[in-house]
Structure 1
């Protein structure tokens, strides 16, 4: 075989390897970990969270998933992607006190938090602040009630928000009202406004 053919084959093999590496890195997110599948929630809170809809982008996604009367939900307008979830609130409150397990982009973490004492009465509403164990740039602020969870989880340069989205009358009729979880990466610039 001529030397020019060997050189051409070697160049072709190198080009194939470079393209394969580039395509492989394209399947990763900015953290170097595999990219999140649209069917995998970027944040899972505790062991008793139930995911009803992953990667929703519109009310029609919720209707297609069987969520009744999605137009009644108070989802901030303009969020590009969100997950609809429910919680076992009694079990979640125990997990928060004992060190809440989290899964962020498929990696398991544990939190350390403490209760914040705002008042001297026990009204069933508790607020906790803390951090994710082993993650320097992390912060957790969660407020729990009988059937609601509101809060934020900061993980490096990403913030996740957890909010209840059912109107009060509808939520009071449900043992496990709907919540949405969304990331700062899925929020447009400017203030968010609830859908009318």
Structure 2
């Protein structure tokens, strides 16, 4: 009886240690590497945030006003140089960095609108990756879209309230993974 009790306790300790290792590894963002950088125009403000307090600690004013999607358990807060990003996409290729690994995406402008309103949508694929998809819509100071690489989709959205974003030359955006709560 005593031997099985000790064995059970040892097994329980092993389970807790294994869970701590897995959760601890998932909570780390190695060297602050962003989950996704779009072109050379991405400026990371906070990498691997999990809460509003992470954003406050990074000096983001009024972080509780930001619209953080409920499914984003771990995310990056970034800004973009929108003019540079638009130029890159007009060239037909876009460099993407996913967790530090570089990929080249071939993109083309979608021509479904007849007016020139400085809002452009692009679609494409990542070169050499069968299960990939790139959908991005840009404006003067906004970006929304997704990048799918294999079974994972990265979402990009503006997070500031409209009035706050309109006062900013480079509004804040969130990038997060469809994997939600884990390390991207």
The TM-score bracket by the shorter chain reads: 0.7 to 0.9
Structure 2 unaligned residues grouped into runs of 5+: 1-21
Task: Point out the structure with max Rg over C-alpha.
Answer: 1
1:64 — aligned with what? 57
Structure 2 SS opposite 1:76: coil
Q: Find the aligned partners of 1:78 and 1:136 in 2 and give their Cα distance.
A: 26
Number of equivalences: 156
Match for residue 172 of structure 1 among 158, 166, 172: 166
Residues 143-183 of structure 1 deviation map (CA, whole Å, 9 limit, x = unaligned): 00010000000000110000001111100100000000000
Q: Does 1:121 align with 2:115?
A: yes
Runs of 4+ in 1 over 4 A off after TM superposition: none
Structure 2 SS opposite 1:161: strand
Following superposition, the deviation at residue 37 of structure 1 comes to 1.3
RMSD: 1.8
Structure 1 unaligned residues grouped into runs of 5+: 1-25, 30-34, 189-196
Residues 22-54 of structure 1 deviation map (CA, whole Å, 9 limit, x = unaligned): xxxx9xx9xxxxx96161112111112100000
Is the Cα–Cα contact under 8 Å of residues 29 and 47 in structure 2 kept in the other structure? no
Structure 2 SS opposite 1:55: strand
| Larger RCO (CA within 8 A; separation ≥ 6) | 2
